[in-house]
Amino acid sequence: MKEIPHGEWRFWYAQHKGTLLAAALFAVMFVIYVSNHPAGFTPNVVQTASNKAALLAFVAMAQCFVVITAGIDLSVGMILILCNCLASWLVVGTPFETALGVVAVLLTGLACGTLNGLIIIFGRLQPIVTTIATSAIFFGLALVLRPTPGGAVNETLADAFTSKLFGVFPASLVVLAATLLVCWIPFSRSILGRAAYAAGSAENAAYMSGMPIKRAKFAAYALAGLMSAIGGLYLTFFSYTGEAAFASGNAYTLYSIAAVVLGGVSLAGGKGGAVGAVFGALAFRTIGDLLFVFDLDPLWQPLFQGVVLMLAISIGCMGLARVRNRLEWFQ
């Protein structure tokens, strides 16, 4: 391998600082968690932790795709709920039927994301309002599918995706890594991905230099739908049921933003990556687990998570302390 000159390291570090910080934060928290866990560092503990975190990680990845274009998708949680309800109908029966069901669920997620993209990019509406409105539509569809909680899932498949590979590696982490490899890496290295970053950091300049901004943003929203669908599929694998729960859909949306922020992805766009978002999600989930390990009242969990989220956001804004001229506030 070619030796990287001194200066290149600094660029690489500056580019990945957020991701590295998120990974470090997660590592520290996970070590605290595991060392206080009654069962200790065993494959089972890791499996449970990774299964719980995977759900959020997929949604965070979805949010990340959109956030790097300086947009926001407040419907990721509802796409997840819709796909969960759909999967509880379709992902059952013979292996062939199950496979068809999985494909149908993923395509539904992609369609939801495409709808968002179409309205936002070609309808020229604001992402916030649009995705709040489409999330009402997605939740309505979920309610049509599952007015009451219920349904089933192919349990062999569900167990395979939530168990351990070779008795050691949690399958959910493997799927997560595979998704990063198959979806995120090619996207971020492609022209579309570059254009997505460019749109997030300086849209006018990117437009002037002829980058395919519209297509990039559109792809980002569509892929976000697909990622949320994988999350929904995983939710079904864990719960074996489908449920149109308004509160949990909202919570996933909120936590996806928290995870993205923790993962060093700038909400102003153009900065950070899905790897950071995934680490952010893992870290955010570990916060909740820490309470459990330290035997605190579960009632305090929402408050604790909220406060951590708030602190993370405030620390993320420390750049303000470096502003020399008050006019730099407005940039």
Partner 1 sequence: MSEDASLMQRSGIPAHLRRVDPAVAIAFGCILLLLLGGSIYSSNFLSPDYLLQQLKVASFLGVIATGMMMVILIGQIDLSVPWVVAAGAMMACAATAYGSVGSFFAIPFGILCGAVIGGVNGLAVAYLRIPSMIITLATNAVVQGLMVVYTGGFAPQDAASPAMRFLATGYVIPPIPNGVLVWLVVGLLAVFLLVRTTFGRSLYAIGNRERAAYMSGIDTRRITLLAFVISGGLGALGGVLLAGYASKASQSMGDAYLLPSIAAVVLGGTHVLGGKGSYLGTVAGVILITLLQSILSVMQIEEAGRQLVYGVVIICMLLLYGRQKLS
- In the complex with partner 1, the residue whose CB is nearer, 91 or 312, is 312
Binding residues among 1-60 for partner 1 as defined by CB under 8 A: none
Rounded Cα gap, residues 200 and 203, in angstroms: 6
Residue from 27, 32, 141, 291 touching partner 1 (CB under 8 A): that is 141
For 177, residues 6+ apart whose C-beta sits below 8 A from its C-beta are none
| 27, 197, 118, 143: CA torsion to nearest 10 | 10
User: In this chain, which stretch among 11-19, 21-29, 47-55, 299-307 interacts with partner 1, using CB under 8 A?
Assistant: 299-307
User: In this chain, which stretch among 23-31, 48-56, 155-163, 256-264 interacts with partner 1, using CB under 8 A?
Assistant: 256-264
Closest CA to 66 of 124, 127, 20, 16: 127
The answer to the question of residue 132 lying near partner 1 (CB under 8 A) is: yes
Rounded Cα gap, residues 252 and 256, in angstroms: 6
The answer to the question of residue 306 lying near partner 1 (CB under 8 A) is: yes
Q: Please count the residues of the chain.
A: 331
The answer to the question of residue 284 lying near partner 1 (CB under 8 A) is: no
Closest CA to 253 of 111, 62, 44: 62
Binding residues among 190-209 for partner 1 as defined by CB under 8 A: 204, 207
Helix crossing, 301-316 with 246-262: angle to 10°? 40
Rounded Cα gap, residues 76 and 70, in angstroms: 16
The answer to the question of residue 126 lying near partner 1 (CB under 8 A) is: yes
- In the complex with partner 1, the residue whose CB is nearer, 132 or 293, is 132
Closest CA to 224 of 19, 69, 20: 69
Q: How far is the CB of 247 from partner 1 (least distance, A)?
A: 7
Residue from 175, 222, 226, 258 touching partner 1 (CB under 8 A): that is 258
Q: Which residue ranges make up the site for partner 1 (CB under 8 A)?
A: 72, 119, 123-126, 128-130, 132-137, 139-144, 147, 204, 207, 246-247, 250, 254, 257-258, 261, 267-268, 299-307, 309-310, 313-314, 316-317, 320, 326-327, 329-330
